[in-house]
């Protein structure tokens, strides 16, 4: 019996020894020269995922600028000649025209596009060459990207700090930037100067050029996610019987650099509001169905939509989602489902009054969550632009275990932005006597309203039971620190994306905020 045990023991020892030797060979092969490894690099393997269950982050925004014909007008001057293209409206199905053909056509669609645009071609998620090509062809300037970020934080701080109602708020700086940039492209004099100042650019040419490049750099539409930015111009050429002529250059530039389609409409017809709402719903994949009101005095509406949808790089296990309490600012608690996940080796930042960590999205973006420290309210963290920037980009870096508990939330918010922009120095655009949109039309015109509606959802789309192993992973690294991102009290969030630009040292990139918001009550 003893002998038998000994034999078994020896067998086991031999097996262990051989196993160690095999592993030594494995380790040695790990260390082969780089060139041998490069030489044998296989084509990327497609891995079949275990289930189509997806955890999604979806966000959408629409921004509408209404440009109106002033009520009190001096018609003593000669009225501009009626542009023959704007007579004889035809059916709704008239084919859209390319910018080049604009001059040659004598026909316009009723509410169909007068001028359609071709959006950038989408490329597949794995097409790195296409991505690289887009980056190479759109050499953004670091100054411009910083201006976009500065605009984002400046306006977001003003909007979020002004939200004293304790309601959820979500704001897309990017959407406002594009809508204002289009308006600025047709502005002159002081109106243009004020807009350029807020947008952080010196002149219209730079703004148009860089906005176009940023558009192409951000845009993606693949099998995993979408980042769709759409702009449109809604033009009414008839103001109570008086013809209104829009300038070709404005419309063509909007199409070329802002991918803005143009639509000829009649703002005194309620069907116009429906046509605009349809366009918004289509471009936000049905997430936004706004009820629009149009003003018969309106001559132009600029609408921008941003639609963002991507999958988490690290999926949540639906079976771990559990109901829990979320404590509102006023003290009471509401019940909501929390998605849970722990990263043994994660990255996070701690700053004055907050902890920040991000969840990566597959197309390179991030959803950033900022949990105010106990006793700190989101309002404290958004009080000034400097504080908001610190909260999103500053703090001390740590790596270690990150425990996530995120309420599944979804809400819509609506913002009136006119007063905020006025407070930020954009004044003449809103004043009938001072506004100069001479690049859009020779008629007097001013901005009457500026509204943004957004939708955000962080949730599970389509549930399918699938097995997840439930092992705590022991990494090779010892966690140095630990963060609990247990978002059971009001928090800040953002969706950001990295945009690269050439620099003297090679290539740098900036994390650009596309959405910034506060979740006060995930059940609201």
Partner 1 sequence: MKDSDIIALFFAREETAIAETTAKYGRLLQSIAYNILADVQDSEECVSDTYLQAWNSIPPQKPESLSAYLGRIVRNQAINVWHRNRAQKRYNPADVMLEELGDIIPAGAGIEEEIDANELARHITQWLRALATEDRILFVQRYWYALPLKKLAAEHGSSANKLAGRMYRLRRQLKDSLEEAGITL
SS3 for 76-127, per residue? CCCCCCCCHHHCCECCCCCCCECHHHHHHCCCECCCCEEECCCCCCCCCCCC
Specify the stretch interacting with partner 1 by CB under 8 A; choose among 131-139, 140-148, 155-163, 169-177.
Answer: 131-139
Specify the stretch interacting with partner 1 by CB under 8 A; choose among 66-74, 149-157, 192-200, 503-511.
Answer: 503-511
What is the distance between the alpha carbons of residues 212 and 206, in angstroms, rounded to a whole number?
10
Binding mask 393-422 for partner 1 (x = CB under 8 A): ----x-x-----------------------
Question: Of the candidates 13, 49, 202, 282, which one interacts with partner 1 according to CB under 8 A?
Answer: 49
Specify the DSSP class assigned to residue 422: H
Question: Virtual CA dihedral for 15, 16, 17, 21, nearest 10 degrees?
Answer: 100
Site residues (CB under 8 A) for partner 1, limited to 439-498:
468-469, 471, 473-477, 498
And the tokens for 372? 């105010």
Find all residues with CB under 8 Å of 190, minimum gap 6, and list them. Answer: 428, 434, 436
Identity of the residue, 295 or 401, whose beta carbon is nearer to partner 1 in the bound complex: 401
Question: Of the candidates 42, 88, 375, 462, which one interacts with partner 1 according to CB under 8 A?
Answer: 42
Identity of the residue, 327 or 498, whose beta carbon is nearer to partner 1 in the bound complex: 498
Chain centre to alpha carbon of residue 356: 19
Identity of the residue, 128 or 327, whose beta carbon is nearer to partner 1 in the bound complex: 128
CA dihedral sign, ordered 439, 445, 446, 448? negative
Closest CA to 370 of 183, 233, 380, 461: 380
Site residues (CB under 8 A) for partner 1, limited to 342-371:
343, 345-347, 360, 364
Q: Is 507 in the site for partner 1 (CB under 8 A)?
A: yes
Shortest distance (Å) from residue 366 CB to partner 1: 8
Shortest distance (Å) from residue 476 CB to partner 1: 6
Q: Is 119 in the site for partner 1 (CB under 8 A)?
A: no
Question: Of the candidates 141, 222, 500, 523, which one interacts with partner 1 according to CB under 8 A?
Answer: 500
And the tokens for 18? 């051989």
Shortest distance (Å) from residue 343 CB to partner 1: 7
Question: Virtual CA dihedral for 224, 342, 334, 53, nearest 10 degrees?
Answer: 30
Find all residues with CB under 8 Å of 372, minimum gap 6, and list them. Answer: 353, 354, 378, 380, 381, 489, 490, 491, 492
Specify the stretch interacting with partner 1 by CB under 8 A; choose among 154-162, 219-227, 241-249, 339-347.
Answer: 339-347
Identity of the residue, 189 or 475, whose beta carbon is nearer to partner 1 in the bound complex: 475
Q: Is 219 in the site for partner 1 (CB under 8 A)?
A: no
User: Please, what is the Cα angle at 162 between 494 and 281, to 5 degrees?
Assistant: 55
Shortest distance (Å) from residue 125 CB to partner 1: 9
Say if strands 226-235 and 298-311 run parallel, antiparallel, or are unpaired: antiparallel
Identity of the residue, 126 or 481, whose beta carbon is nearer to partner 1 in the bound complex: 126
Specify the stretch interacting with partner 1 by CB under 8 A; choose among 21-29, 76-84, 233-241, 321-329.
Answer: 21-29
Closest CA to 300 of 112, 67, 33: 67
Which residue shows structure tokens 């015109």? Answer: 445
What is the distance between the alpha carbons of residues 491 and 360, in angstroms, rounded to a whole number?
18
Q: Is 30 in the site for partner 1 (CB under 8 A)?
A: yes
**Number of residues engaging partner 1 in binding (CB under 8 A):** 60
Identity of the residue, 358 or 428, whose beta carbon is nearer to partner 1 in the bound complex: 358
What is the distance between the alpha carbons of residues 149 and 349, in angstroms, rounded to a whole number?
20
Shortest distance (Å) from residue 121 CB to partner 1: 18
What is the distance between the alpha carbons of residues 195 and 177, in angstroms, rounded to a whole number?
10
Identity of the residue, 13 or 103, whose beta carbon is nearer to partner 1 in the bound complex: 13
Shortest distance (Å) from residue 230 CB to partner 1: 25
Question: Of the candidates 13, 80, 128, 167, which one interacts with partner 1 according to CB under 8 A?
Answer: 128
Site residues (CB under 8 A) for partner 1, limited to 304-323:
313-314
Positions in the binding site for partner 1 (CB under 8 A): 18-19, 21-42, 44-45, 47, 49-50, 126, 128, 131-132, 135, 313-314, 343, 345-347, 360, 364, 397, 399, 468-469, 471, 473-477, 498, 500, 505-509, 511
């Amino acid at each position: 019996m003893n002998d038998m045990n000994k034999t078994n023991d020896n067998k086991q020892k031999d097996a262990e020894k051989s196993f160690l030797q095999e592993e030594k060979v494995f380790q040695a092969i790990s260390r082969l020269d780089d060139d041998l490894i490069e030489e044998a690099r296989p084509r990327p393997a497609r891995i079949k995922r275990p289930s189509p269950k997806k955890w999604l982050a979806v966000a959408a925004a629409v921004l509408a600028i209404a440009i109106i014909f002033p009520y009190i007008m001096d018609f003593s001057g000669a009225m501009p000649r009626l542009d023959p293209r704007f007579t004889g409206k035809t059916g709704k199905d008239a084919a859209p025209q390319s910018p080049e053909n604009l001059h040659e056509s004598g026909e316009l669609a009723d509410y169909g596009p007068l001028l359609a645009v071709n959006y950038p071609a989408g490329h597949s998620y794995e097409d790195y060459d296409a991505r690289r090509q887009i980056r190479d062809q759109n050499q953004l300037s670091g100054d411009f990207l910083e201006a976009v970020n500065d605009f984002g934080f400046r306006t977001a701080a003003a909007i979020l700090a002004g939200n004293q109602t304790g309601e959820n708020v979500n704001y897309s700086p990017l959407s406002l930037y594009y809508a204002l940039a289009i308006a600025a492209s047709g502005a002159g004099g002081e109106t243009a100067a004020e807009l350029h100042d807020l947008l952080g650019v010196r002149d219209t040419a730079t703004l148009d050029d860089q906005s176009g490049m940023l558009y192409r750099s951000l845009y993606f539409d693949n099998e995993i996610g979408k980042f769709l930015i759409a702009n449109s111009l809604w033009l009414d050429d008839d103001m109570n019987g008086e013809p209104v002529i829009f300038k070709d250059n404005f419309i063509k530039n909007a199409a070329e650099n802002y991918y803005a389609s143009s639509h000829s409409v009649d703002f005194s017809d309620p069907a116009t509001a429906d046509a605009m709402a349809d366009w918004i719903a289509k471009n936000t994949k049905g997430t936004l169905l706004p009820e629009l009101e149009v003003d018969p005095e309106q001559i132009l509406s600029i609408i921008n939509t941003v639609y963002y949808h991507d999958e988490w790089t690290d999926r949540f296990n639906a079976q771990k989602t559990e109901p829990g309490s979320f404590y509102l600012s006023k003290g009471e608690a509401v019940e909501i489902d929390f998605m849970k996940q722990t990263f043994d080796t994660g990255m996070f930042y701690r700053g004055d009054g907050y902890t920040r960590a991000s969840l990566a999205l597959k197309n390179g973006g991030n959803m950033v969550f900022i949990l105010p420290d106990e006793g700190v309210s989101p309002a404290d963290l958004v009080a000034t632009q400097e504080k908001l920037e610190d909260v999103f980009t500053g703090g001390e870096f740590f790596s270690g275990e990150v425990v996530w508990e995120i309420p599944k939330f979804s809400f819509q918010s609506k913002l009136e932005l006119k007063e905020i922009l006025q407070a930020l120095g954009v004044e003449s655009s809103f004043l009938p006597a001072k506004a100069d949109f001479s690049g859009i039309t020779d008629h007097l015109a001013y901005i009457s309203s500026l509204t943004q509606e957004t939708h955000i959802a962080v949730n599970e789309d389509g549930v399918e039971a699938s097995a997840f192993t439930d092992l705590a992973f022991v990494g090779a690294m010892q966690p140095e620190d630990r963060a609990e991102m247990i978002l059971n009290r009001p928090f800040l969030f953002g969706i950001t994306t990295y945009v690269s630009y050439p620099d003297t040292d090679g290539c740098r990139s900036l994390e650009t905020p596309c959405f910034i918001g506060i979740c006060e009550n995930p059940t609201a």
